[in-house]
Structure 1
Amino acid sequence: IFLSLLLLFLCCLSPATAGKVLVIPMEGSHWLSLKKVLTELNKKGHEIVVMAPESKMLVDSSGTYEMKTYPVPFKKEEIEESLHTISETVFSNDPFLTRFMNTWNNFKKGSAMLQTACRFLLYNKELMKYIEESKFDVIFTDPLTPCGQIIALNFSIPTVFFLRGLPCAVDIQAAHAPDPPSYVPRLFSQNTDHMTFSQRVKNFLISLSETFTCDMVFSGFESLASDFLQKPMTIKQLLSHGSVWLKRADFVFDYPMPVMPNMIFIGGINLKNRFAFHKLGTSCHQPPTWPLLSGQCFFLSVLSIRAA
């Protein structure tokens, strides 16, 4: 009887088939990590189409995927300058308020450029017709530019997000995960998950400021999404429809926090080579901007490492 039931069950199974994947990428280092995934998807037989602006920095053509481009009113040099300015500001040793305001202003300028590119994609009738007719199975995108999610909602396509994180913990809140400011340190606060009362107050005030600063940064995308989808839409409502969140993070390096079941941590994907421990020792390093875990030094168990 058992064998008969097993055979009946096996007859009901169908073989897995490759799917059609639409990729709406993000420039810079975001693309370098995502490109590795596209290579693996191609090996599994998936059909991949990447849509990117004609003016692009690192996003390139490949035999791994089909590239489709659309015109935008800015040049490659403008993208490079924007990304360079943002990275310099984030990792500077300026006082908190100076670093916060500079980062916010630079991110707002960069966001305006992303919004422009998104508008030119959404209102490209030829590409929108192509997406509708191609019947994609999934959209693979970085939610830092939620253009992919706008397209996904318009054509009712599931979305897989590929990200490191979003400003103001928008990703955590959009996924409806708990985000208590009394425990989870805010960006630039230099706090740890073990805070004194004054540090918790500081952390709480930063979280309040995020409410209006990030609303102003993402407001352009919200207006764009509302106009295109013909209904009011906030950035959190927009991203809350994501099916899976692939986060390039790991609790070895980040603060432990509550997460939702559809958040999958793939921090190791950024590792290029494997290493074997050759000589063990201990060194201590404490990042000036983002202290780790309890705020103590991060101990590396390696004095010298050789490639495996």
Structure 2
Amino acid sequence: MLMAMLLPFLCCLSTAAAGKLLVVPMDGSHWLSMKQVLTELSRKGHEIVVVAPDSNILIDSSGTFTMKTYPVPYKQEEIEELLRTFGMSSFSEQPFLTKFLDTWEHFRKSSAIFQASCSSLLYEKELMKFLEESKFDAVFTDPVTPCGQIVALHLSIPTVFFLREHLFQISAGMALLLPSHPQVSVSLLLLLSVLSLAAGGKLLVIPVGGSHWLSMQEVLVELRQKGHEIVIVSPEFNLHVKPSDNFTMKLYQVPVSEEEINRVFQAFLKEAFEGGSFLERFHAVRERLRTLFDLGFIACEELLNNKELIRYLEESNFDALLTDPVVPCGVIVAEHLSLPSVYLLRGIPCGLDFEATQCPNPPSYVPRLFTDHTDHMNFLQRVKNVIFDTSNLFLCDFLYKPYEKLASEFLQRDVTMVDLYRKASVWLLRYDFVLEYPRPLMPNMIAVGGVNCAHKQLSQVGRALVLILILIDFRAPKTVIFYNVDI
């Protein structure tokens, strides 16, 4: 087994004359596995130099290789305490969300130590000069911390990875699909990667009223409990969006009464289930959407023209913006403030979300609105589906052209809605493939179907399954990689 593991080394290091290997290891149990390989390589006559911090747990000098240490701004006791707390947390009985956040906090602290160690190495001029002059043949490293890759890139030499596996990773072209429970924690996964867990982040929220707000509100409450500062910008009349102790509300006036907003929504709900031919239903939907989007446009125009409020947003130094992009006002504000944006949505009319994310949505397989088809269509049904798909052109034109013009005037440059939507950092999709047709997702798209459903306590087995699904590794190897599998 050990000789099979050494095979890639013999491709990098000459077997006729002993090679020279630079090792940038990972401490702890990672080192114990790597050390056996180094011992065997040394026995074969290869020269090995190990570069490690002067404060570590298990990395020690040996007669089989040369040790080069460098000072780091932390002590060995700090590492040992971090490992101890992680071990206690791993086997404790806690609610899923608590355990997940504790694990995330551990990784954050570990990452800070790894970063400090790597920074100390890279800025240790004397040691780096030694590495540059030593003419190594290859770098051997555990890529769970990328310091070895950085050194290899700097020295322009081949890299060999030795690892158990990574946590929290997505391979190229593969989206991470998370389960629908627990609902809030799933949505928080990507938000917490944008906002720092060390100190509360500052989140700007531009919501859409009605049922859209009900889903978003749960996420905001949970974020607030974790110490993040939340500022919501909303028109003074916005269905269901009410002040709360969990966040700061910034209201602005709009020339629309609350009664008019309620009347429009009631009419929309009443007509939503009416039947009729395709043309009748299309016309009815078009008129209902036009009325709703007119209200949204008025509110957005008032916000962007509110110089005092815009100045406040510019000076507040937010870390990210959360919005429902069905009404693109938050999208425009995020572009103006140059903020990373997180979208929480069910969908965007006329398929702009597919176009912006460049996700395939072929009419030959995906049934369109009003067709009443399934995903199993004969030739004539597919032709009908293509014809119905042209209705999106008309919907996009009259729904989003006004916003496009408004955004161009406000940003003082020509933009399209697709251009703005493509700037999204993360798409949180309220989808569940139990109810949706199969479709590919891009790496920054996360399915969070169930975020707006009633809570249900998971069993211990359910919690374990959810954690496994979140941590599952879709990695495809891109270089020489060893998987150290414990059997």
Q: Under a length normalisation based on structure 2, what TM-score does the superposition of the two structures give? A: 0.54
1:229 aligns with 2:331: no
Q: Could you list the per-position Cα deviations for residues 229-264 of structure 1 after superposition, in whole angstroms to 9, with x for gaps in the alignment?
A: 112222211211111010111111111112211111
2:326 is the counterpart of 1:144: yes
Verify: 1:30 aligned to 2:212, yes or no: yes
**Cα offset for 1:213?**
2.4
Q: What is the CA distance between 1:2 and its match in structure 2?
A: 5.1
- Could you tell me which of 166, 187, 193 is aligned with 2:348? 166
Aligned with residue 296 of structure 2, among 92, 109, 114: 114
Instruction: Say whether the 8 Å CA contact 1:141–1:159 is kept in structure 2.
Output: yes
Q: How much does 1:85 deviate? A: 2.3
For residue 92 of structure 1, report the CA deviation from its aligned partner.
Answer: 2.3
Structure 2 contact 349–395 (Cα < 8 Å) conserved? no
Superposition deviation, residue 84 in structure 1: 2.4
Deviation at 1:267, TM superposition (A): 0.6
Q: Which residue does the alignment assign to 1:292?
A: none
Determine if contact 2:331/2:421 at 8 Å carries over to the other structure: yes
Residue matched to 1:252? 434
Moved more, 209-218 or 146-155: 209-218
Aligned partner of 1:18 among 176, 200, 224: 200
Counterpart Cα distance in 2 of 1:76 and 1:13: 53
Q: Distance in 2 between matches of 1:104 and 1:275?
A: 41
Unaligned runs of 5+ residues in structure 1 are 277-308
The one of 197, 202, 221 aligned to 1:39? 221
- Cα contact 1:172–1:259 (8 A) shared by 2: no
Whether the 8 Å contact between 1:159 and 1:243 is mirrored in structure 2 is: yes
Structure 2: distance between partners of 1:241 and 1:71: 29
Q: 1: CA distance between counterparts of 2:457 and 2:222?
A: 21
Aligned-partner residue type, residue 186 of structure 1 = R
1:302 paired residue number: none
Q: Which has the higher contact order (CA 8 A, sep 6+)?
A: 2
**Deviation (angstroms), 1:208:** 1.4
Query: Is contact 1:20-1:136 (8 Å) kept?
Result: yes
Q: Secondary structure at the match of 1:132?
A: helix
Aligned to 2:241, the other structure's residue is in SS state coil
Structure 2 equivalent of residue 100 of structure 1: 282
Q: State the AA in 2 paired with 1:270.
A: N
Residues 58-73 of structure 1: pairs in structure 2 closer than 5 A: 58-73=240-255
Moved over 6 A (4+): none
SS in 2 for 1:30: helix
Match of 1:188 in 2: 370
Aligned to 1:21, the other structure's residue is in SS state: strand
Q: Which residue of 2 aligns with 1:215?
A: 397
SS of match in other structure, 2:431 = coil
Correspondence 1:82 to 2:82:
no
Please state whether the residue corresponding to 2:390 is helix, strand or coil: helix
Per mean C-alpha deviation after superposition, the further-off stretch among 186-195 and 24-33 is 186-195
Distance in 1 (CA, whole Å) between partners of 2:389 and 2:352 is 11
CA distance in structure 2 between the partners assigned to 1:249 and 1:10 by the alignment: 35
In structure 2, how many angstroms separate the alpha carbons of the residues matched to 1:66 and 1:41?
A: 13
Query: Percent same amino acid at aligned positions?
Result: 45
> What is the CA–CA distance in structure 1 between the aligned matches of 2:230 and 2:249, rounded to whole Å?
9
Partner of 2:313: 131
Q: Aligned AA for 1:93?
A: G
**Structure 2: 5+ residue stretches without partners:** 1-24, 28-51, 57-71, 73-110, 117-196, 459-487
* Whole-angstrom CA distance in 1 between matches of 2:291 and 2:327: 13
1:173 deviates by: 1.2
1:224 and 1:184 map into 2 onto residues whose CA distance is: 33
Q: Distance in 1 between matches of 2:424 and 2:112?
A: 32
User: For residues 125 and 214 of structure 1, do their structure 2 counterparts lie closer, same or farther at Cα, with a shift above 3 Å needed?
Assistant: same
Letter in 1 for 2:320: V
| TM-score, L = length of structure 1 | 0.85
Partner deviation per Cα, 1:152-191 (whole Å, 9 max, x = no partner): 1111011000101111111111111112111111122211
